[in-house]
Amino acid sequence: MAHKRLHWTRRTVLRKVRAVFPGSDPADILGTLKNGGAEGSRVQLAVMKLCDEGKGLSDLAHYVNTAKLDDRDVLAWAEEPHAIGLPATASDAEREEAEGRDLDAYLRWIKQDLKEKG
């Protein structure tokens, strides 16, 4: 969690808005996130990650509405897709491996646009 927490900042949100929605006005995207109920940098990043993996801008309203109902859903889908997909009978080793893959994938996505710039 600590590795991810370092990136839950307004600066990262602004950078990812530009990367995920390059043809859009960042103020419009941020307004949709905030006014729609996606509160806090962590939730906003989760919504954007899901949009980036899906249909982009056309998914924004859906994920914002989902976050407004229960932000734990978008957080789990964006941050822990492998871990939440495990059966109840999964071993500790399987859970640990899934959590590691999830962390690696999340951090790779967070840093992805930094590599493209530099």
How many whole angstroms separate alpha carbon 80 and alpha carbon 99?
A: 7
Helices (H), ranges, the chain:
2-5, 10-20, 26-36, 41-53, 57-69, 71-79, 81-84, 92-117
pLDDT for res 73: 96
Q: Tell me the pLDDT of the chain (118 aa) as tens digits.
A: 778 888 899 999 999 999 999 999 999 999 999 888 788 999 999 999 999 998 888 999 999 999 999 999 999 999 999 999 999 999 999 999 999 999 999 999 999 988 665 4
pLDDT for res 4: 83
- Which of 84, 64, 83, 82 is closest to 74 using CA atoms? 64
Angle between the 41-53 and 10-20 helix axes, to the nearest 10 degrees? 20
How many whole angstroms separate alpha carbon 107 and alpha carbon 3?
A: 8
